[in-house]
Amino acid sequence: MSKKLRKIESIDFEIRGGKKLSGSIETNFSKNGSVVLLCASLLNKNKTVLHGIARIEEVNRLVEIMESLGVTVKWISRNSIEIRPPKKFSIGKLNNEVAGRIRSGLMLIGPLIHYEKHFKLPHAGGCKMGERTIAAHHYGLEKLGVHIKTDHKEYKIKVGRLRSAEIVMYEAGDTATNNILMAAALIPSKTTIRFAPPNYQVQELCFFLEKMGVKIDGIGTTNLIVHGIKGFNAPLEYHNSEDPIESMMFISAAVTTNSKLTIKRAPIDFLLVELLKLEKMGLKFSLSSKYKSYNGRTDLVDITVLPSKLKALSDKIHSLPYPGINADNLPFFVPIATQAKGVTLIHDWMWENRAIYFTELNRLGGQVALADPHRVFITGRTKLKSGQVVCPPALRPAMIILIAMLAAEGTSILRNIYSIRRGYEEIARRLNSIGADIRVIK
């Protein structure tokens, strides 16, 4: 396979806004669950079949990286994929250009340390939201016998004698915790991970590892005890669960357009605080009884959002490690706040510079005042208007512009929507199925 980066087709959206959404929409499979499961499949020396893998650009890039390493990857249906690792990984043929575009490629470290003593990975890409270090990966993996040296363009990984350990996470990072979980899974002893975020993708990985025979105590808590195994070599099949961040996106779209909409298959445990905040803002909604995802573990509900008059909260809205508001869900409060009477303070403390992208809604009639790189004050209620905006290079900020355009009367143009394609599958078609009017321009 050529190491040249595949040319990404430039696509724009033309949105005729001001329309009500209606009916129901199913939540798609988790983006972050998809990428961690693809990485984790390399722990199995045999065939792994994964169902519920999102057909999105982030997954496409990760598949390209895996194929460059000699992994055989085959789509066997729309959202099911078969992975067969090679007898020997082609580390020297790693597609560095693609690997440098996405952050999820970092999670290849956890599996690859069980096959290779030395390898390199380029600095991670992904959303452009300021400085994103790998300190939590570095310190946690170091405890297990893995040494990472960072230079100006790549990470150099050297694997010593792998050993179990008691690890305190340097920060509650999902990808770092996943890397350490995958590393510990094939170290045949007990590894303890403290201050582990029990977020949805971390739990998904734990469920997958359990199917491999790895016993994990404390799933859903901040303390995980991993009872590693020597190895795994047997056919394995697993089903990824739904994406709470996508559920929140549809909630935000319904609230911002003041519509009645049912969001089906929403992972309720990862939306509870978000829904509570919205309830206190005046949102009316109802929940169905719980039922299980295809993985048999994740609780789902159907959420029906009703047209409501909203008011700003008197205190700030900010994210926290789970079970707090998910950092990826926080931006979806921005378009909602434009339709809430009063002034809303949103504090995006986790990412340097991401809050700057929130001010793009001012191009659509919003009143978003930037206090500093982390905080914005949003004055509502404002009547949104059509406009033309280039997608920012960050997934969730790009999506909130699309949501605002759905609510803005007139015709808007959203340019170069690759950022959205990284995380949302056929989003124009799916939004159109519930009443939006989006034309794809190639």
Question: How high is the pLDDT of residue 103?
Answer: 84
* pLDDT digits 0-9 by tens, 278-289: 999 999 999 999
Same domain, 226 and 331: no
Same domain, 213 and 104: yes
Question: How high is the pLDDT of residue 125?
Answer: 56
Q: Residue 129: is its pLDDT beyond 60?
A: no
- CATH number of the domain residue 103 falls in: 3.65.10.10
**DSSP for residue 124:** P
Which string of DSSP letters, residue by residue, matches 133-182? --HHHHHHHHHTTEEEEE-SSEEEEEE------EEE-SS--HHHHHHHHH
Same domain, 58 and 205: yes
Q: What are the structure tokens assigned to 267, written together?
A: 């992972």
Is residue 364, in this structure, part of any structural domain at all? yes
Same domain, 160 and 273: no
Question: How high is the pLDDT of residue 7?
Answer: 57
Same domain, 137 and 274: no
| Distances in whole angstroms, Cα of residue 174 to Cα of each of 78, 211, 328, 423 | 27, 20, 12, 17
Is residue 290, in this structure, part of any structural domain at all? no
Is residue 286, in this structure, part of any structural domain at all? no
Domain hosting residue 420, numbered range? 12-27+244-259+269-278+309-441
- The average pLDDT across 388-401 equals 96
Question: Which residues, listed in sequence order, are joined to residue 378 by a DSSP beta bridge?
Answer: 344, 368
With bands split at pLDDT 50, 70 and 90, how would you rate the model's confidence at 3?
A: very low
Looking at every residue in the chain, the average pLDDT score rounds to 95
Q: What angle do CA 171, 217, 273 make, to 5 degrees?
A: 55
How much of the chain, in percent, has pLDDT values that exceed 70? 96
Same domain, 80 and 114: yes
Is residue 322, in this structure, part of any structural domain at all? yes
Asked which of 18-22, 39-43, 63-67, 350-354 is least confident by mean pLDDT, the reply is 350-354
Asked which of 103-107, 251-255, 273-277 is least confident by mean pLDDT, the reply is 103-107
Q: How far apart are CA 212 and CA 236, in angstroms?
A: 8
Q: Residue 246: is its pLDDT beyond 90?
A: yes
Q: Which amino acid is at 171?
A: E
Same domain, 429 and 374: yes
Same domain, 23 and 67: no
Is residue 417, in this structure, part of any structural domain at all? yes
Q: Residue 1: is its pLDDT beyond 50?
A: no
Determine how many CB atoms are found less than 10 A away from the CB of residue 275.
18
pLDDT: which is higher, 151 or 418: 418
Is residue 107, in this structure, part of any structural domain at all? yes
Same domain, 91 and 205: yes
**Could you give the number of structural domains in the chain?**
2
Same domain, 22 and 44: no
Which string of DSSP letters, residue by residue, matches 9-59? PP-EEEEEESPPP-SEEE--B-HHHHHHHHHHGGGBSS-EEEES---SHHH
Is residue 289, in this structure, part of any structural domain at all? no
Is residue 219, in this structure, part of any structural domain at all? yes
Strand order through the sheet with 118-122: 118-122, 154-159, 146-150
Same domain, 205 and 147: yes
Q: Residue 331: is its pLDDT beyond 90?
A: yes
How much of the chain, in percent, has pLDDT values that exceed 90? 90
- The average pLDDT across 222-248 equals 98
Same domain, 208 and 351: no
